[in-house]
Amino acid sequence: MPDRIRGLWCATLTPLGAAGEPDHARLAAHVTRLFGAGVDGIALFGTTGEGQSFSMAERRAGLDGVLARGVSAERVIAGTGCAALTETIELTRHAVTAGCAAALVLPPFFFKGISDDGLYASYARLIDRVGDARLKLYLYHIPQVTEVPIAHDVIARLLERYPGVVAGIKDSGGDFQHTRRLLARFGELAILVGHEPHLPTALAEGGAGTICGIANLYPRLMRRFHDRSLGGGYEEDLQRIETFIARLERYPLLAAFKALLADLTADQAWEALRPPLVPLAAAQRRGWIAAVAETGIVAERGTT
Amino acid sequence: MPDRIRGLWCATLTPLGAAGEPDHARLAAHVTRLFGAGVDGIALFGTTGEGQSFSMAERRAGLDGVLARGVSAERVIAGTGCAALTETIELTRHAVTAGCAAALVLPPFFFKGISDDGLYASYARLIDRVGDARLKLYLYHIPQVTEVPIAHDVIARLLERYPGVVAGIKDSGGDFQHTRRLLARFGELAILVGHEPHLPTALAEGGAGTICGIANLYPRLMRRFHDRSLGGGYEEDLQRIETFIARLERYPLLAAFKALLADLTADQAWEALRPPLVPLAAAQRRGWIAAVAETGIVAERGTT
């Protein structure tokens, strides 16, 4: 297992088969293509991957399915958080046993307004019950979806009790001031941003990299953007990405991602989502694809 | 299967064993006691029952466990909603096969801001995949927890497409104006309120009854309150219940419920909750039990 997650990781979209089940072969092919385009690793069944829309059994099988098709477990961080802690424990144990680089774990997200003690108890019980020294736990902060933020004092308590297990944080909150506070307080953790435009600043302030959605679509652009974020000269790519996101924000995020990936790969199967998410309506889809074309980001079309 | 749910149904708390697992024997004994005190039926693994904190396997086993101990399936509405539709389908099918009166189904609650089409698609796929004419579906509206309200136009579409299957709504939103709009528009559905003080007005306007938490604690009071809501003279009990709720609102709801049930039954095992919920701290617990005593509602102590 690598010491820590760093660099450019893609929060992979999950393709669906005809009956609405995760399509392992298409997913593995997508991941292989991403790796070929310079992506360092993937986060499987995160929010972008509609992870919560799949059963525990589907998530287990999905991980097994991509590993069986040659994806290296060391390049996979498995989204294993569930509403029910017992399912989180089982999925996390499975990911550790499979040799995954790490487990990316949402807080239990059904109840709102949970206490710091309750959040701490959730992660502590997870770690205790998995009971495997190989576990590398990444805390998954995405309060605009979960409505359950991960308090910094809880992180500190976990880090004190479980050093070496609590390994990092995916900060998908989209608020860089929040990321900055994490970076300042938790220098020993690998902190990865979800919002692509934050990458240059995050890296400059000690961040480990990004786990992001746009890498599904434009992995080469994201690779270059990441590397130039370290080496200089990223401004033009940042502008491209910001323009893209400004258009994207007018559409349902995951439906727009999947419609665009279907377009870029000429593979209509990518259009499907599992309810409660649904594909874009035809007119909306046309508007979105046209909007993307206008941004000029499509220069990468055919090379993704 | 009864034609529709009506009357006084208890959203049962879930007792836990030493390892934090649902304690089937203690749960069945609690249900039997509630039935003996006049409760018409129970909702198993709803929000009050910490349903989302238990795995699909634990929820299946929990239902089987109480039925095996003599609880009549016709008096059970099973909470079967999950974040992942495939788990909702499996749990719902299990509840139907077990002969439950109905299934109480949350909307998929992970993603926020989902479209009406997406919400409709979720319930429609559930009904289609369960594919059993015995299914009676109750839509579970509790937006203060799920952050996913059930739009009335979605209910209307479901009702048109699946008459006889979509059987009712549990309105736990706590906003009686919302309940009133449901009652006015969906007269053919059994509409049950979660907020106990709304019961008299709901019944007067055509509501079917209540699925509520306080019946765990004061089933005889709730029985009398329900019956007087129909027959007159409920005002004194309404005052008791409102006073109780006013105190309750200063505490974490489920921890307070469980602490009080432990006190009323002299059974400390009831104190336990599964993370992310945690029991009241000792001082807080003492304050809460004292606050309840002051309300005078404890006249029922020993007779619950």
Confidence of residue A105 (pLDDT cuts 50, 70, 90): very high
B124 Cβ neighbours under 8 A, 6+ residues apart = B158, B161, B162
Q: What is the pLDDT of residues A139-186, one digit of tens each?
A: 999 999 999 999 999 999 999 999 999 999 999 999 999 999 999 999
Contact B224/B237 with Cβ under 8 angstroms?
A: yes
DSSP classification of residue B40 = -
Measured between alpha carbons, how far is B91 from A106 in angstroms, rounded to an integer? Answer: 23
**Residue indicated by tokens 């009241």:** B280
Count the neighbouring beta carbons within 10 Å of the beta carbon of residue A98: 14
DSSP classification of residue A50 = T
Chain B contacts to A (CB-CB under 8 A): 20, 52-58, 82-87, 90, 107-112, 114-115, 117-119, 121-122, 125, 144-148, 252, 274-278
Measured between alpha carbons, how far is A123 from A89 in angstroms, rounded to an integer? Answer: 10
Provide the 3-class DSSP secondary structure of residue A21. coil
Provide the 3-class DSSP secondary structure of residue B133. coil
Element (H, E) at A27: helix A24-36
- In Å, the largest CA–CA distance within chain A is 53
Q: Do B122 and A276 lie within an 8 Å CB cutoff?
A: yes
Concatenated DSSP letters for B47-88?
TTTTGGGS-HHHHHHHHHHHHHTT--GGGEEEE---SSHHHH
Going by their DSSP bridges, the two strands B166-171 and B190-193 should be labelled as parallel
pLDDT of residue A300: 52
* Shortest CA distance from A277: residue in chain B: B118
Cα torsion at B104, B176, B181, A112 (round to 10°)?
-50
Concatenated DSSP letters for B146-169?
HS----HHHHHHHHHHSBTTEEEE
Q: pLDDT tens digits for chain B (304 residues)?
A: 456 799 999 999 999 999 999 999 999 999 999 999 999 999 999 999 999 999 999 999 999 999 999 999 999 999 999 999 999 999 999 999 999 999 999 999 999 999 999 999 999 999 999 999 999 999 999 999 999 999 999 999 999 999 999 999 999 999 999 999 999 999 999 999 999 999 999 999 999 999 999 999 999 999 999 999 999 999 999 999 999 999 999 999 999 999 999 999 999 999 999 999 999 999 999 999 999 999 877 555 444 4
pLDDT of residue A95: 98
Q: In the predicted model, what is the mean pLDDT of residues A45-49?
A: 98
Amino acid symbol at A269: A
Q: What is the pLDDT of residues A193-230, one digit of tens each?
A: 999 999 999 999 999 999 999 999 999 999 999 999 99
Measured between alpha carbons, how far is B102 from B46 in angstroms, rounded to an integer? Answer: 13
Contacts of B53 in chain A (CB under 8 A): 83-85, 108, 110-111
Sign of CA dihedral B178, B179, B185, B186: positive
Q: Which two tokens stand for residue B85?
A: 């539709």
pLDDT of residue A303: 44
Q: Which two tokens stand for residue B162?
A: 């699946």
Q: In the predicted model, what is the mean pLDDT of residues A242-248?
A: 96
B274 Cβ neighbours under 8 A, 6+ residues apart = A85, B16, B20, B50, B53, B54
DSSP classification of residue A268 = G
Which of B53, B109, B115 comes nearest A84 by C-beta? Answer: B53
Measured between alpha carbons, how far is A228 from A234 in angstroms, rounded to an integer? Answer: 5
pLDDT of residue A304: 42
Provide the 3-class DSSP secondary structure of residue B174. coil
Residue B171 β-bridge partners:
B141, B193
Measured between alpha carbons, how far is A263 from A260 in angstroms, rounded to an integer? Answer: 5
**Residue indicated by tokens 């219940």:** B241
Optimal mutation site among B45, B53, B125, B129, interface A, most CBs of chain A within 10 A:
B53
Q: Do B58 and A86 lie within an 8 Å CB cutoff?
A: yes
Contacts of B49 in chain A (CB under 8 A): none
* Shortest CA distance from B129: residue in chain A: A19
Measured between alpha carbons, how far is B31 from A49 in angstroms, rounded to an integer? Answer: 40
N-term to C-term CA, chain B? 28
H helices of A74-161, where? Answer: 85-97, 116-130, 143-146, 152-161
Is-above-0.90 flag for pTM? yes
Q: Do A125 and B275 lie within an 8 Å CB cutoff?
A: yes
Measured between alpha carbons, how far is B278 from B262 in angstroms, rounded to an integer? Answer: 14
A3 Cβ neighbours under 8 A, 6+ residues apart = none
Measured between alpha carbons, how far is B59 from A195 in angstroms, rounded to an integer? Answer: 37
Say yes or no to pLDDT of A302 above 70: no
Chain A contacts to B (CB-CB under 8 A): 20, 52-58, 82-87, 90, 107-112, 114-115, 117-119, 121-122, 125, 144-148, 252, 274-278
Percentage of chain A beyond pLDDT 90 is 95
Say yes or no to pLDDT of A11 above 60: yes
pLDDT of residue A295: 87
Amino acid symbol at A255: A
**Residue indicated by tokens 């995951």:** A254
Q: What is the pLDDT of residues A192-203, one digit of tens each?
A: 999 999 999 999
Measured between alpha carbons, how far is B116 from B151 in angstroms, rounded to an integer? Answer: 7
Give the residue among A123, A131, A176, A177 at the shortest CA–CA distance from A150: A123
Residue B16 β-bridge partners:
B22
pLDDT of residue A296: 79
